[in-house]
Structure 1
Amino acid sequence: MMKTPGLAMTYAKLVMTTCFWGGTFVAAKLAVLEAPPFHAASFRFTLATLVLFSLVVLQWWGKGRQEPFPIPRGSRQIFGLFSLGLTGIFLYNAAFFTGLKFTSAANGSLVIAINPLVTALLSAVMLKERLRPSQVTGLVISFIGVVTVISRGSLEVLQQLSFNPGDMILLGAPLSWALYSILGKKVLGSFSPLVATAYATLFGTVLLIPAALTEELLGIGTAHFSLQGWLAILQLALLGTVLGFVWWYEGIQQIGPGRAAPFINMVPLFGCLFGVLLLGEQVTWPQLVGGILVVAGVACGTLSPSLRGTNENAQKVKPQQIKA
């Protein structure tokens, strides 16, 4: 039986994790003010890769080096980890940083909040998993919420399809993350979440660096980070990626994926809050209404009786990769 102080610490870490992830939208917005999107993403994941592999080495060393160091063996494992880097790191962050260059941090956090439901929908299509009625309802509610946000509550915007390009680009992020999550189910059969994420960031960084060099060759720009810019990169790499990842899976191990999943709903709330406090963004009524619908839809799709019961079997389940 877990002691109450330990349980309280677990909940506190999960709240802080969603706070870190909400903060990534502001940090990314600040980073792309001083560097092109792929430059910002490259700096973020180069640093994250170094730290993650340091953790992998420490974990392996702490176990007495009784097993071989975890490295991918054979083309199947290499391709699996490369596919995670391609979808969850390269494609996701291409949409994430590029979209935030043109739209607000608040809008970004609200659009990307539909990650869990897009994953459920794509899992139904690709893996033939059954969608529960609550998930279908949640998808519809969240879709209405996202449309409200990106249309700015205007029928004229919908009729003329004159959407903010950043909002439209950001829609690629939940799709990329859904593919990453589905592919991750197979890869996690061979590697721990920490090892899989370390290799995903490595392969993703290998793809991001040439893209950053291409930005420079095309005259799009290069990185000129101020102290604020470097602090944004550190937040993205250390808090949003490394520490957020570690604390999230600690939470899953302690209370199970079912009880941890609802905390994801706090990410857009923190994203909007930080956008207002740190960037001076104005929260409009379409964002407020759309945000409520998005969060309500995600809650409807994830807070089902079957999910609540998964915590009893948490140790038997490989946790699904979630937005980090």
Structure 2
Amino acid sequence: MVRSYILLLFCVCCWGSNFVFGSILIKEFPPILLSAIRLSATSLFLIGYGWSFKKLGYLTRRDILWLIPLGFIGTLLNQSAFFTGLETVDATTAALITSLAPITVAVLAAVFLKETITRRMVFGSVLAIVGIFFVVGKSGGIKLSIGIVYMFLAMFTFAVSIIIMRKLTERIDPLTATVYSTVIGSSMVIPVALVKEPITNVSSHPWAWVLLVVTAILMQGLCGLIWNVQLKRIGAGKAAVFLNLQPFVAMIVGFLLLGTPVTTVQAVGSLLIVGGVLLATGQKKAKPERIGKPMAAPGPISKLTGGS
């Protein structure tokens, strides 16, 4: 269990940094084309990994029916919304918005996986929503930009993909699910990118291409594979709790690499969001039984049987 937690922490630290690296790359590549190139590199890595270890399983028609919406929602919609949003939203704000993913996962799990919605979840959701108002609010009231809408879409599609992946890994192994869903998603993104965004509008800087390929393999390929394996082992709820750390990682990396200031409003908003998510997704500790407690003497028969 400890090993699983360490691996999930590694994934979330990489994904938190991805907001910053994505903000850098979006200045060098058009958003959908950037997504298509990264997904192509990720797909090649995953196919090579699965082929070299001969771990790719066979698919049934029902598996494919799960993989197609997973590729469309978790790859095409998610990646397109993510990089389009980063064109106008800074990395810290983007990470704070997507920190609502654990609550969204919990709600979707209650609807589609029949998991229970607790009172803690309701209170935590309200607290986190208040935090979002702090993050995206302006002095004249709440003003939502199109970039923020895109980031909400990226958060929601990511949450939906977790639910679909959880159902899919009940049928096939996580590696097979990760490889095929990424490849299917890539095949959907590439045609859209080629039609909408000319391939001539790409960066001429070698460092940008290196950063693109490295982040594709590490953050989308390797971390995606690790996450899906641990998702099957410890469950969607426990895994989603680790997503709470993304805003803090994005803040730290953004400050160190881009000099992005962390405002008081963002700090307060992040605390409310993360606090709400932790409250909503946390579980009460069971009270330990008292050892050595003397047994009560048997009462009258009427007491034991509920009589008067």
- Per the normalisation by structure 2, the TM-score is 0.83
- 2:260 alignment partner, SS class: coil
Matched, 1:100 2:86: yes
- 1:39 maps to 33
Instruction: Give unmatched runs, 5+ long, in structure 1.
Output: 62-68, 308-324
1:157 aligns with 2:141: yes
How many Å separate the matches in 2 of 1:249 and 1:44? 19
Contact residue 215 and residue 222 of structure 1 kept, 8 A:
no
Partner of 2:104: 118
The reply on whether 1:138 has 2:124 as its aligned counterpart is yes
| Separation in 1, partners of 2:230, 2:110 | 26
Measured in 2, the distance between the counterparts of 1:242 and 1:26 equals: 18
Shift of 1:11: 4.9
CA shift for structure 1 position 10: 5.5
Q: Which has the larger radius of gyration?
A: 2
Which residue in the other structure is 1:29 paired with? 23
Counterpart in the other structure of 1:168: 149
Aligned residues of 2:100 and 2:155 also touching (Cα < 8 A):
yes
**Partners of 2:252 and 2:245 in 1: how far apart?**
11
8 Å Cα contact 1:27-1:235 kept in structure 2:
no
Q: Tell me, yes or no, if the aligned pair for 1:117 and 1:298 is still in contact at 8 Å.
A: yes
Match of 2:269 among 272, 285, 290: 290
CA distance in 2, matches of 1:58, 1:252: 23
Q: 1:208 to 1:254 in 2, by over 3 A?
A: closer
Say whether 1:188 aligns with 2:182: no
CA contact (8 A) 1:148 1:286 kept: yes
1:232 corresponds to 2:211? yes
Shift of 1:246: 3.9
The CA deviation string for residues 251-271 of structure 1, in whole angstroms up to 9 with x for no partner, is 567877666554322121101
- Between 1:242-251 and 1:292-301, the stretch displaced more is 242-251
User: Displacement, 1:195?
Assistant: 1.1
Pairing 1:73–2:45 present: no
Q: Which amino acid aligns with 2:282?
A: L
For 2:141, what is the secondary structure of its paired residue?
helix
Partner in structure 1 of residue 185 of structure 2: 204
Give the share of equivalent positions with the same residue, in percent. 31
Whole-angstrom CA distance in 2 between matches of 1:60 and 1:82: 23
- In 1, Cα distance between the equivalents of 2:173 and 2:79? 23
The answer to whether residue 278 in structure 2 is matched with residue 299 in structure 1 is yes
For the Cα contact (< 8 Å) 2:169–2:232, is it kept in 1?
no
Shift of the 225–157 alpha-carbon distance from structure 1 to 2, 3 Å rule, reads farther
TM-score by length of 1: 0.80
- Cα contact 1:14–1:260 (8 A) shared by 2: yes
Check 1:13–1:182 CA distance in 2 against 1; reply closer, same or farther (3 A cut). closer
Where does the alignment leave 5 or more consecutive residues of structure 2 unmatched?
287-308
The Cα shift of 1:131 comes to: 0.9
Residue pair 1:105, 1:271 contacting (<8 A) in 2 also: yes
**Does residue 1:50 correspond to 2:44, yes or no?**
yes
CA–CA distance in structure 1, aligned partners of residues 49 and 164 of structure 2:
23
Structure 2 counterpart of 1:273? 252
Structure holding more helix per residue: 1
Provide the rounded CA distance (Å) in 2 between the counterparts of 1:187 and 1:10: 20
